[in-house]
Structure 1
């Protein structure tokens, strides 16, 4: 018996469609099947596409759902399998299969080319709670087509494996509502080892209601969003390394982030203090400390203008500080005695001030919102008074700086330079430099600090130097002999020279550099006196300057310091670093080699032996003697006992954190073959290091093991171990840009799963 349907009409039947099939005009398809006495479809029904190919098979059985259903691609291969309940409803696994030829059938986008089959477990008409992917042969793969890793025991079977560029590679489990293309209900993530990474609860609309995040399997933060009020939420941040979660910071967000309260706790869970910011309107803002109003600002509708008024309150509620808008683009800040209300001191802000913008902020006298932590011991009331006085003193110091009399001996030097046209950081010339130089000679430390900042802003910028850098140094050097009666001023000028000589690019302008060194050189007798000071900082500073400017007396001084076994390891080791630069700068490396090579065999101090060996290897590199390399390997084995002295070798050690890292770099630059023997002991400790240490060590290790383009084609056991360790590092720090750059340099993927695949060959 054939179904009667008003939408069915006569149409020329394609030869591929059997006799008896009826055309359905509404759906542009041919139908063939039986119905029962109630005109209900039963048994197998076949559907042909309007283009003539067999399109769908539905088994209605006795007319009761579910109905086993298959769809086909135009080439006859299966496109879909599932249990159909009518309409758009499928329950249970719905399998979608790709095709080698063009097809109108749907297949999920954004999957890898190797994904041939996608399977979804539907629990409702529009919701599935599991997804699986397979290759053409039916092997389970990840969502991007790569083979699946081993599933940890605690990861449920319905979780699928997901990889995303520059993100963690994790096992994921949750229910997806296809109507909103988002998760609903509970959601979970685990890393490759089975440690929890994230847990969330989504609303039926796909909005996150609860969000828990983990680091190394331990709860690190959680976020709770109000079900009724989307503008309200709470977040919790936890202490690391605790046996059970302990809240470190609790944040309460209300009124769309316009009202935020942060509460800080110690490791026992005791509340330390709370801060709150509140925006009552775009021009009325408040800050609170421990629930009490600390300050509020009534801003001008004209952005960038002075506030109409700003008030700070003492803990008892009386006015502590306020700002009066004078109506002429100036404002007056006043500090009051909170018990008597009397003005203690005041200052006026005008547009002529360098820090005008900062001092027109209504909240300038309390810490920035991100400036608090669990170690903050000062209350906001205390901070307000301290910061007010700091700005007050700085303003007075600036006024004093600009009214200082210029000494005759300085004016003579200043007159030799055209400060309007000299090369400085700012293109408008260095007209302010004479004021800064003069301020450096002041007995008032506050004035000198402001002067120093003024100078640095013009003569150095991110390591770059200018003509003014050299000329300022020369003038300051010439001023030092004039201030024997003010040792503090002399030391201040010496420190300034020390910092200038340590700039990375100070050697680049050879003529100017040579001239500057010539001006500093006559200071050698005084610098040698400083070098013998009991104050280690003064002594180190003077010795560093002498390396670049000293002569025979300096050489003898440094030799004596190195050879004097009565001095401690730090003093003798520092002397070796100094001597090395002293000889190299003067093209006397042969003298250095002879001196150190002769002394090393009889030296008893372990740290001094290490420093000498390191300098010898750095000077000779690939021709370094085995005994020197062996000495470094011995130092590597006992590096922890050398770290304290090593930390005192700045600035010669740059950014190195310890002896271990320093030796690895020395070996990688000289004899990588020696270093490769030592790498294995480092690899297992990589994942536990801090991210910055990981950057340092991976740079060294990759330079040794993966600098060759064919390194990945010749996977030695140690290279495999390194790839696996690197994968663990990536898993822990999926978005750390500094690490990404290291991997990029050596063409290694910043993806944990791919690294593991490479290691497996």
Structure 2
């Protein structure tokens, strides 16, 4: 082998490893003292100090450009103990450096405790400043976070400080593992096996234990999961879930806040076709299933507490099956015979048809499974019998005339053939029997509304029912039922979409104004508000005057006056009389003495005028926001005007977001101050308002005013506590801000 000119004459070539060696050995032919190794290409590759031949040996490796690539204490073979430092090069190199690190991470250190195993890692920039694995400067290390822990950025995880032992052979943690947030609160604690499998997993929320999983070391799927109460001085289990037999045997145990066991439920699968359910350790029901999961079970039995048969199922072998309910003496109380192919009875072909759903239990569940079983059986029995009555009802001539005017076979409904039974449902809505009417309504809704969508059938069904009301004044329950139905129809988001059909519907309701005005002053507040809502769409001058009188009558409650304002707002908007609304409310808001009524007026004015809203109206809303708790009860009675926004402060924020940022920026600090104390869902609306006011301009981050800095630091605290909440992530993304506590703090401090 030709010797490169950089390799000393005394160096010996090792053909096996393709390298040049130089160093001394002792009388036992053991390497001692400094040794050097040159790469076959001629550059100094490795320097090892064997000292007296006893490890550890200080060792360095080099890049082709002569700079150090690795520095550590070598024990021979693949074993290093203590810090092992790896360093990048400015030039091309074959030397290893851990992947997936930021460009400005220049060096990495790993503290090895055994061959292939390290328990700490650190990262440095080119100036040897310690940084995160992402190359960012390190934040202050909380006092309780050990020096071994390293810092990582976790945009979608609560992890900021991490400490654990890694086995590089399996590329996973072993032994104890810990995570802390930026403030030093525990986030996760785990115990890994030597193979890297999680044996114990503890999760914390705001530093308090919230859940735990302990896995069987021999049977991976056998485990115990606990969820804990929040707000207790010490952890108290709320629910314990015990998995056994490869998750085929599961027991849920529920506890009160003192730790006292409330009850337990258990499901057991003895085979794919033999299943059981238990309550407080007693067998409640079991089923022997058929091989076809869509067919009747072979048999099913429900047991009374203490033993006897409560319900059983007989497969009649002819496509029908019979459920029987027994009394304590074994006598049949009721029986249900159903067919295997009845879509509307699909639930009743299940062996567990009368047992509560597995996910339906809570710590406040008071009913025993035996009570639930009887209740569910009777409910289904009553519903099936009500359906028999429904199909047997005669159709009045005045209804038949309306029904005959429509082709129900081809009408637009959710299912292409769904309109065929709509006449039956319409007729049932007119029944004196509430059970029959309930079944009829359940028949109608799946065909006339789906996830907010409406169809031609929606309008036609509602129109016919509106025309039926005058025929049933002698049966007050029927008009009230139909009025509630119309109220729900008019509250559908897209009900005004099909203009001609909508006009026909309103035309059918309009003659009912006198009756609705009577309902609107009913002592039954729900009926009164329902009537006002319908009148908002269908009323005339009498309705307008009524709503004005309701609002301006100071003897009425805040709720009653506020609801009248909402209804009157809708009345004007529906009729495109916005100027009338503006003039009427703007004149009144300045002199209104009732805090809730003033808030409603101001909110309606801001929604109407948006960025042209008067500063005094915005000030009214900000005062309402600061004192929102005093408005909560009245606000809760404003359904359906408030939609899905069930909290008054959230509603106010939604209104403010549509107004004037120049005014709000002066007054935004109380909103920022209130952010940390809000629930996670409420924080979404708070942040939307804060960001809309302070960061709507893409150049806002270039002008880091004190209020913007405060907003970012407060937002960082929110993210640190709940970094995985997707709704918050969307808010940050909309304004080009990082959903990462550390990054937000860095931006704020620049």
Shorter-chain TM-score tier: over 0.9
The residue aligned with 2:78 is 88
Q: In the alignment, which residue of structure 2 is the partner of 1:6?
A: none
Query: Is 1:548 aligned with 2:537?
Result: yes
Do the aligned partners of 2:84 and 2:111 also contact (CA within 8 Å) in 1? yes
Aligned to 2:130: 140
**Any conservation in 2 of the 1:169–1:753 contact (CA below 8 Å)?**
no
Match of 1:8 in 2: none
Give the C-alpha shift of residue 430 in structure 1: 1.3
Q: Give the 3-state SS of the residue equivalent to 1:237 in structure 2.
A: strand
Quick one: distance in 2 between partners of 1:706 and 1:487?
56
Aligned equivalent of 1:361 = 350
2:316 to 323, 326, 333: 326
1:68 — aligned with what? 58
Give the corresponding residue for 2:483: 494
Mean Cα displacement is larger for which, 238-247 or 696-705? 696-705
Is the aligned partner of 1:50 residue 2:24? no
**Counterpart-to-counterpart distance in 1, 2:508 and 2:575:** 18
CA distance in 1, matches of 2:583, 2:701: 42
Provide the rounded CA distance (Å) in 2 between the counterparts of 1:591 and 1:543.
Answer: 19
Counterpart of 2:582? 593
Is the 8 Å Cα contact of residues 551 and 560 (structure 2) preserved in structure 1? Answer: yes
Measure, in 2, the Cα distance between the counterparts of 1:620 and 1:323. Answer: 65
CA distance in 1, matches of 2:89, 2:748: 33
User: Is the 8 Å Cα contact of residues 221 and 247 (structure 2) preserved in structure 1?
Assistant: yes
Match of 1:202 among 189, 192, 199: 192
Q: Number of aligned pairs?
A: 750
The separation in 1 between residues aligned to 2:42 and 2:153, in whole angstroms, is: 40
Counterpart-to-counterpart distance in 2, 1:735 and 1:252: 27
Q: Secondary structure at the match of 2:76?
A: coil
Structure 1 partner of 2:401: 412
- SS of 1:670's partner is coil
Name the structure 2 match of 1:33: 23
State the Cα distance separating 1:719 from its structure 2 match: 1.8
Q: Alpha-carbon deviation of 1:516?
A: 1.5
Q: d(CA) in 2 for partners of 1:26 and 1:658? A: 76
Asked if 1:737 corresponds to 2:726, the answer is yes
Q: Is residue 494 of structure 2 the alignment partner of residue 505 of structure 1? A: yes
Question: Deviation at 1:322?
Answer: 1.1
- 1:507-546 counterparts in 2 under 5 A? 507-546=496-535
Q: What is aligned with 2:685?
A: 696
1:620 aligns to 2:600 (yes or no): no
- Aligned residues of 1:169 and 1:752 also touching (Cα < 8 A): no
Which stretch has the larger CA shift, 367-376 or 682-691? 682-691
Given that 1:664 and 1:675 are in contact with CA atoms closer than 8 Å, whether structure 2 keeps it comes out as no
1:277 touches 1:287 (CA, 8 Å); kept in 2? yes
Q: Hey, what does 2:261 align to over in structure 1?
A: 271
Residue 606 (structure 1) aligned to one of 595, 618, 621: 595
Instruction: Map 1:247-266 onto structure 2 (within 5 A).
Output: 247-266=237-256
1:158 aligns with 2:185: no
Q: Equivalent of 1:227, from 197, 217, 224?
A: 217
| 1:564-579 to 2 correspondences below 5 Å | 564-579=553-568
Q: CA deviation at 1:675?
A: 2.3
Paired position in structure 2 for 1:724: 713
Q: Is the 8 A contact 2:255 2:263 kept in 1?
A: yes
Cα distance in structure 1, aligned partners of 2:311 and 2:336: 12
How far the C-alpha of 1:599 sits from its partner, in A, is 2.8
Secondary structure class of the residue paired with 1:221: strand
- Which digits, 9 at most, give the CA deviation of each residue in 1:609-644, with x for residues without a partner? 222222223223333334333333333333222221
Which residue number in structure 2 is paired with residue 644 of structure 1?
633
Equivalent residue number for residue 379 of structure 1: 368
- Within 1, Cα distance between the matches of 2:484 and 2:103? 63
Report the more deviating stretch, 588-597 or 450-459. Answer: 588-597
Distance 1:619 1:334, change over 3 A: same
* Pair 1:751 & 2:746 matched: no
- 1:159-201 per-residue CA deviation (whole Å, 9 max, x = no partner) reads 0012234222321111111121111111111110001111112
What are the Cα deviations for residues 579-625 of structure 1, in whole angstroms up to 9, with x where unaligned?
11112222222222332233334333222222222222322333333
- Picking from 109, 116, 136, the partner of 1:119 is 109
Structure 2 residue 159 is matched with structure 1 residue 169: yes
CA distance in 2, matches of 1:53, 1:743: 51
SS in 2 for 1:602: coil
In the alignment, is the contact (CA less than 8 A) between 1:273 and 1:290 conserved in 2? yes
Distance change >3 Å, CA 621–CA 209, structure 1 → 2 = closer
Alpha carbons of 1:629 and 1:568: their partners in 2 closer, same or farther (altered >3 Å)? same
Distance 1:490 1:418 in 2: 26
* Preserved contact between residue 159 and residue 187 of structure 2 (Cα < 8 Å): no
- Contact 2:125/2:135, CA 8 A, preserved across alignment: yes
Can you give the 5+ residue segments of structure 1 that lack an aligned partner in the other structure?
Answer: 1-10
> Counterparts of 1:327-342 in structure 2 under 5 Å?
327-337=317-327, 339-342=328-331
Question: Per-residue deviation at 1:477?
Answer: 0.5
Q: TM-score, normalised by structure 2?
A: 0.97
Report if the CA contact (8 A) 1:174-1:187 is conserved: yes
**Structure-2 separation of matches of 1:126 and 1:428:** 68
Structure 2 vs 1, CA of residues 624 and 70 (structure 1 numbering), >3 Å: closer, same or farther? same
The match for 1:424 among 413, 427, 430 is 413
Give distance in 2, aligned partners of 1:625 and 1:313.
Answer: 69
**Partners of 1:168 and 1:547 in 2: CA distance:** 49
CA contact (8 A) 1:459 1:466 kept: yes
Q: In the TM superposition, what is the alpha-carbon distance from 1:14 to its structure 2 partner?
A: 2.1
Q: Does 1:102 align with 2:92?
A: yes
Partner Cα distance (1:753, 1:473) in 2? 56
Aligned to 2:381: 392
Candidates 100, 111, 120, aligned match of 1:130? 120
Q: Is the 8 A contact 1:727 1:753 kept in 2?
A: yes
* Cα deviation 1:38-84 (Å, max 9, x = unaligned): 10111111111222222111111111111110111222221100000
Closer/same/farther in 2, CA of residues 490 and 128 from structure 1, 3 Å limit: same
CA distance in 2, matches of 1:118, 1:494: 73
CA distance in 2, matches of 1:599, 1:145: 60
Q: How far apart are residue 713 of structure 1 and its match?
A: 2.0
User: CA offsets, 1:533-553, max 9 Å, x none?
Assistant: 110000000001001100011
Aligned position for 2:234: 244
Q: Which residue of 2 aligns with 1:475?
A: 464
Contact preservation (8 Å) 1:687, 1:732: no
Where structure 2 has 5 or more consecutive residues not aligned to the other structure, the ranges are none
Assess, with a 3 A threshold, how the Cα gap between structure 1 residues 749 and 626 changes in structure 2: closer, same or farther: closer
Q: How many angstroms does 1:429 deviate by? A: 4.7
Are 1:667 and 1:674, in contact at CA under 8 Å, matched by a contact in 2? Answer: no
SS, match of residue 488 in structure 2:
helix
